[in-house]
Amino acid sequence: MIHPPNTRIALAAPLLCLPLTSLATESDLSASLARCAQVEDSTQRLSCFDALSAAKTSSSAALTLAPAPANTSASAAPPTAPMTAEAAPRAQSAGMQLDEGDKRQALGVRLYRPNYLLPVTYNDNPNRNLPAEETIDIPFLGDALDKVEMKFQISFEVPVWTDILDQPLDLYFAYTQLAFFQAYNREYSSPFRETNYEPEVGFNWQPDVSAFGWQLRSARAMLNHQSNGRSEPLSRSWNRLIGQLEANRGDLTLGLRLWSPLETSPSDNPDIYDYLGYGELHAAYDLKKHHFGVMFRNPAHPTVQLDWTYPLGDTIRFYVQYFNGYGESLLDYNHSVNRIGVGFLVNEWP
């Protein structure tokens, strides 16, 4: 026989042995469930569980409807909602973003000029016409020089003194290394054909200046030394005072580098300014995920570099580079190079 709900509570009340108000604690509820489970008669056992459920519901409703105690302290703080699993990663990400965004941290290492690796490059016009006195480096003469080689660049800067005079002005040190590696020239034990070392020290100003829709991102003045670290007659080096500006307008970025020689006629490459000129212009444009770049210098001996990158993840980009002209390396400053390479890039400039 099925009893109405109120009748079930009446039947099961002697079995609960606890007032309804005592079901507020988890231990009391567990004890009542255990007592209901011990009832042998199935009808009474079901009535016991029904009564227990109704009593629990009534107790919860009473707690909900009960008025909140008066706030006796004006300084009592409101309860803080627990952080959800979704909110926690957001807070952590925000903290990481603040740390990563502090790009001007004193003595913190950060990327400077493009860092890339081109495992395969092809140059259809390698420099095979070095002077006869340079036969001390026989692997790099004549047909011994492979047209296919590896090219990579490593570049970083370290702000030494930040916020000079409470201004967004830093004193920094930077280092760039560009290498050309005959990695596939097994006949001559895969030598490095040329490596250029470029330390510099200077000032970097990052003002909040804008005009005509353009935002000035950086203005630099630096002392720069570039050398291939070789002895005569393969030694190549020069010293310059360089000024650099970088500005952007939306997806378009422009960079300008102008230099003045600290020595008008370097002893190991006296005509280097005839080929490399006194500056270079950089431009870049972002089209969705695609990044396009171009560098141009010296109309007297035209030199151009074209870049295209596409993201492969959060930090690595697929990179295609094309170079045509003079000064790709110091050893080839007066030799025209026509090279294309594919590989990976970490950062762009501009």
Residues with catalytic roles: 225, 227
Asked whether 191 and 205 are in contact (CB, 8 A), the reply is no
Output phi, psi for 326, to 5 deg.
Answer: -110, 155
| DSSP alpha helix (H) spans, the chain | 5-16, 26-37, 42-65, 87-101, 272-276
How far the first Cα of the chain sits from its last, in Å, is 86
Amino acid at 336: S
Cα separation, 70 vs 76, whole angstroms: 11
Q: How would you class 99 by CB atoms within 10 Å of its CB: exposed for 0-12, middle for 13-18, buried for 19 or more? A: exposed
Alpha helices for 199-349 (secondary structure H):
272-276
Q: How many helices (H) and strands (E) does the chain have?
A: 5, 14
